[in-house]
Amino acid sequence: MADQSFILSAPGKVILHGEHAVVYGKIAIAIGVNLRTFLRLQPCDNGKVTLSLPNTDTHVSWNLHELESLTSAYYQNDLVNPLPLLPEQIEKLRQFSGIPAGDADTRILAVLAFLYLYLSIFAKSRLPSLKIVVWSELPTGAGLGSSAAYSVCMAAALLNAGSVISHCPLDGVETARWNENELDIINKWAFQGEKIIHGNPSGVDNAVGTWGGALKYKAGEITPLKRVPVLRILLTNTKVPRSTKILVAGVRDRLKKFPGIINPVLDSIDAVSCKCEHVLEEIAEHPSLSHYCVLEELFDINQQHLNVLGVGHPSLDRLCQVTLSHGLHSKLTGAGGGGCGITLLRPDTDASVIVAVLQELRDCGYDCWETNIGAPGVSLHVPSALREEILHAVSGL
Ligand code: PMV
């Protein structure tokens, strides 16, 4: 067990194009958003394991000897290739924590995911005493991959503490990242955590949290985009609650009712994603304003398509109108029906425009952030390079 405390972070994700169409085997492009989850791990010598999740006011602590009685059920022979998660392993953790079967509160599932990862990663050696604080800039339940960012941070932290992956040197740099093989190990373990929190995840969110940048997702296959520029965006949470399940079912009904009309729309969304992928690669190589104009048009086209699929919402129409009145282009991201939208900013978008738009969107009752997409994946940080707010939050104060 490493004897140093450390802080690491992982990004959330947005879907740039391809939501809903991806359910029918079309391409989706998921991209890292620089609203991040931060985790601080501190080795302790008090014989306890403490987990604090200040965003949800969750604080739990266990004695090591209680946890030691569980380890045999989580023994992993090969920490590089985790064994598939078994329902009885989760059931055992529920019983241990006194949580009724079927309780799907995200706070509880986050604690179960931690226990599973901790016991599995350390069952082979000695359980270490430690304190972990996780704090996030990401809203939960908004389709921005907050649970995946949590699982990626947790997997990376425990694998780092257990020396399963190397201790990245932070000499003279503000952030460090692990090598490809190590990222692959982090991603596999993070996927296990995601399964506990999400049930049946596609694996895209944890892959974006691990590698960052952008990924193409098609029929279960995930391919990282080779060159991805960092793009400025506004991310808006309309705070209108929506159910991904109901919205996906609504698209299915419409497709069944009007196959000749809806199938071409899904094909067109696929073509939008393809075009977007090419434009992103071109921007990464030779950025020019004309490329941004194409991205803006693709936003407009796809937003119309998503409205045709029936997943628009007046709150999203409002977002598009407000931003367009300042010359900016927006689309929904994720399931739609409310939830979140993204607005593309050009490199030359004036700061005064951004201030005005943010104000108008907040006046609509929305949460809104200026941030980047194409953000780096899981990273280790020099604490002194982090904002005061983050340091304060992960200090567990
Ligand atoms: O639940 P969200 O907002 O992360 O997005 C769901 C994306 C869909 O394409 C609508 C559904 C899916 O499973 O891909």
What's at 369, amino acid-wise?
W
| C-alpha span between 303 and 316 (Å, rounded) | 9
* Predicted confidence (pLDDT) at residue 18 exceeds the cutoff of 90: yes
What is the Cα–Cα distance from 141 to 367, expressed in whole angstroms? 14
Q: Residue 141: which region, alpha, beta or left (left: phi > 0; alpha: psi -120 to 50)?
A: left
Q: What percent of the chain has pLDDT above 90?
A: 84
pLDDT mean over 266-294: 95
User: Which regions of the chain does DSSP assign to beta strands (E)?
Assistant: 6-17, 28-43, 48-53, 58-63, 130-136, 175-176, 214-218, 221-224, 231-237, 329-333, 340-344, 367-373, 379-381
Tell me if 27 CB under 6 Å of ligand 1: no
Question: What pLDDT was estimated at residue 150?
Answer: 97
Which structure tokens are listed for 376?
């780096």
Q: Is the pLDDT of residue 396 over 90?
A: no
Which atom of ligand 1 is least distant from the CA of 311? 10
Q: Which of 205, 315, 330, 379 is catalytic?
A: 205
290 is catalytic: no
pLDDT of the residue at 143: 86
Q: How far is the CA of 334 from the centre of ligand 1 (A)?
A: 5
54, 37 contact by CB (below 8 A) = no
Average pLDDT for 15-44? 96
Centroid of ligand 1 to alpha carbon of 340 (angstroms):
12
Which one of 9, 147, 330, 379 is the catalytic residue? 147
Is there a catalytic annotation at residue 205? Answer: yes
- Cβ of residue 18 lying under 6 Å from some atom of ligand 1: no
What is the distance between the alpha carbons of residues 10 and 148, in angstroms, rounded to a whole number? 9
pLDDT attached to residue 397: 56
Binding site membership of 248 for ligand 1 (Cβ less than 6 Å): yes
Model confidence, pTM: 0.92
Compute, in angstroms, the gap from residue 201 CA to the centroid of ligand 1.
Answer: 10
Model pLDDT, residue 293: 96
CA dihedral 82, 84, 85, 89 (to 10 degrees): -90
Quick check: 142 pLDDT over 80?
Answer: yes
Angle between helices 106-122 and 146-161 (to 10 degrees): 20
pLDDT tens-place string over residues 222-256: 899 988 999 999 999 999 998 888 999 999 999 99
Query: Which structural domains are found in the chain, ordered by start?
Result: 6-227+375-395 (3.30.230.10), 231-373 (3.30.70.890)
The residue whose CA has the least distance to atom 1 of ligand 1 is 143
Residue 143, ligand 1, Cβ within 6 A? yes
Residue 244 Cβ < 6 Å to ligand 1: yes
pLDDT, residue 344, reads 98
Mean pLDDT of 40-59: 95
- Average pLDDT of the chain, as a whole number: 94
Phi-psi region of 222 (alpha: psi -120 to 50; beta: other; left: phi over 0): beta
> Is ligand 1 within 6 A of the CB of residue 342?
no
CA of 216 to the centre of ligand 1 (A): 14
Residue 395: the pLDDT is: 85
Looking at residue 2, its pLDDT comes to 60
Is the pLDDT score of 182 beyond 60?
A: yes
CA of 243 to the centre of ligand 1 (A): 10
Please indicate whether residue 19, judged by its CB atom, sits closer than 6 Å to ligand 1: yes
**Cβ of residue 312 lying under 6 Å from some atom of ligand 1:** no
Q: Are 325 and 361 in contact (CB under 8 A)?
A: no
Q: Tell me, what's the pLDDT at 220?
A: 83
Average pLDDT over residues 380-393: 90
